Amino acid sequence: MGALHEGHLSLARLAHSLADEVVVSIFVNPTQFAPHEDFDRYPRVLQADVEKLGNDNHADVVFAPTIQEIYPAGFATRIVMNGPAEGLESDFRPHFFAGVTIIVAKLLLAALPEIAIFGEKDYQQLLVIRRLVSDLGIPANIIGAPILRESDGLAMSSRNAYLSPEERKVAGKLNVIVSGLCARLRAGETIPAVEKSGAHAVLDAGFSSVDYIAVRDAATLAPITSLDAPARVLAAATLGKTRLIDNMAVT
């Protein structure tokens, strides 16, 4: 959605290593924001984004449509998903994946890429898009790219710019807590105990609220009771007025 940082640029570099031509879409998608969320203040710096993509040859084409081009008058289509779209983000942002799926479907159909790169920071979104592409038969191979982090481990995000200097110090603790939870799970601690203590740890670190600390199956995001298959710890918490998410593989 623009306000590109090094995490975004790493997606384009990965795409260039796998494809001859790279298209980067930039579109602040109104349908994935609720009325009380930050659509109006979400950073929009298209010219700077284009320069970043062009100066280092990250992209061959930048596709930056207007809202009217994507959602013309009379637009009436909505995508409703279950499976990996259920729970977690949907419990707190019930509008979110309906907006994400329709815009991703439109962008993929516009470009018809052989591959499409999505960051693992939005891990649930990545699995939702994989399911969407499979279910609708869109001929694109969806590839997840590793999370890029700041020096203290905070996952790179355009919303990090909202954080005050004091909040920024607290924000870096989220990754440390999630990493510690993964270690405790590997050591044999039960999943309910880890989830409960993780939520307390995030609040004790100075976050305003916790939406979830959850251990889920890494392939489906279904709730699990043991580590018989690869798992993921996913976290969402609010610091001041900024909502941050993170996740990490357990096994």
Distance CA 102, CA 27 (A): 13
* Residue where the block lists tokens 């994946």: 97
Judge contact between 121 and 7, C-beta under 8 A.
yes
Q: What are phi and psi of 98, to 5 degrees?
A: -60, -40
**Catalytic residue of the set 8, 16, 36, 58:** 8
Q: What tokens does 79 get?
A: 């995508």
**Is residue 200 annotated as part of the catalytic site, yes or no?**
no
Cβ neighbours of residue 143 under 8 Å, at least 6 residues apart? 14, 18, 115, 116, 117, 118
Beta strand spans in the chain (E): 23-25, 61-63, 115-119, 141-145, 209-217, 231-239, 242-249
Q: What tokens does 59 get?
A: 């992209």
Cβ neighbours of residue 9 under 8 Å, at least 6 residues apart? 52, 53, 56, 58
Return the active site residues.
Answer: 8
